[in-house]
Amino acid sequence: MTSRVERCGGCGRQLWLPRQAVAARCHACRSVTSFPSSSQRWAQVYGSVSQPHHNVVTTVPSNYVAAGPGNGKYPRQGCNNYYIDQPRPAWAPPPVYGRKKALLCGVTYNDTNYMLTGSINDVKSMWFLLVRMLGFPSDCVVILTEEEKNPYRIPTKQNIRTAMRWLAQDCQPGDSLVFHYSGHGSRQKDYNKDELDGFDETICPLDHETEGPIIDDEINATIVRPLPRGAKLHAIIDSCYSGTVLDLPFVCKINGEEYKWEDQRIPTACYKGTSGGIALSFSACSDNQTSASTSAFSGKDVTGVMTSSFIQAVKNEPCLTYGRLLAAMGDAIPSLMPNDTDVIQEPQLSASETFDIFTKQFIL
């Protein structure tokens, strides 16, 4: 049987799989990882949205095993990984027009001891900014929250992955994409040695306790690397440890009117840039900081400090440069922070290429 090698989205180990597999459970960390489908598989998924959703679980032959430290890179006996045949979602991706698409994901983790109250409000505020103020067609904005009635719009790991693939699918020169995430973030050991600090940054879907987080390597591969020349992606990530969660090559460090770009690339690591387009990410904080929520923006509803400062700056100053936007966010955050917190939160800008942040205009 022909095979291919994929990487576990949970722990980063290599997985040896049959060529037709589209998802697999890692024998080491037990997380299930789905893999980007070809255009033919994508057409198959969305070709018949009226059919019910089925997951057909098929056992992988016993000689397929996750390769990693201690077991080499070759198939061997004694593995209980499995792969899942391609599912058929019950909703069709929205049509694309106007060259603007957005994915807004807010996770509140209802009925847990780590529940967040502001994530849905962040998504609603971002939707209003994009659709009512910046001209994004409402049909081209996908929302994933726990308030959604459609089960495929709930922010599970599989649904977020599917939606990220939709965001980047068939991207053309001139397209403008937005990815907004508000929820918990985390970090884990870097297994493929492509991080300067030795940690992969992650976002935490609703079912992260059972399915695992989504790591920065996968986010980069899904929505950054496919960007063609002339296309752009803006990510607004409101979570802890989110400084380099898109794994972009350059991070901007700003101090008043001075700034410098720090190169995050490792010569031996895989390429983390685009296919000619530009990707930019505004993150709530650096990779070793946490983020906070506030009610100061609206006076009543709780929102993320980072999302609030971003929206406030864009509304107040229509012709912002990237440098001015980053500075305005940094100036606003201290006044939005809760009085009883000692969290230090510094917004971050990362990009697929360097540029003059005080002359380049911010345009979504």
Closest CA to 109 of 184, 180, 10, 216: 184
204 part of the active site: no
Instruction: Single out the catalytic residue among 26, 171, 180, 184.
Output: 184
HSE on the CB side for 108, CA within 13 Å? 17
- If you write DSSP's letter for every residue of 64-95 in order, what string do you get? --EEBTTTBTS--S----EEEPPP--SSPPPP
CB 140 within 8 A of CB 178: no
DSSP letter for 174, please.
T
Instruction: Single out the catalytic residue among 105, 171, 240, 285.
Output: 240
DSSP letter for 223, please.
I
- If you write DSSP's letter for every residue of 250-288 in order, what string do you get? EEEEEETTEEEEEE---TTSPP-S-BBSEEEEEESS-TT
208 part of the active site: no
Q: Residue 33: which H helix or E strand, with range? A: strand 32-34
Could you tell me how many residues make up the chain? Answer: 364
Give me the active site residues, please.
184, 240
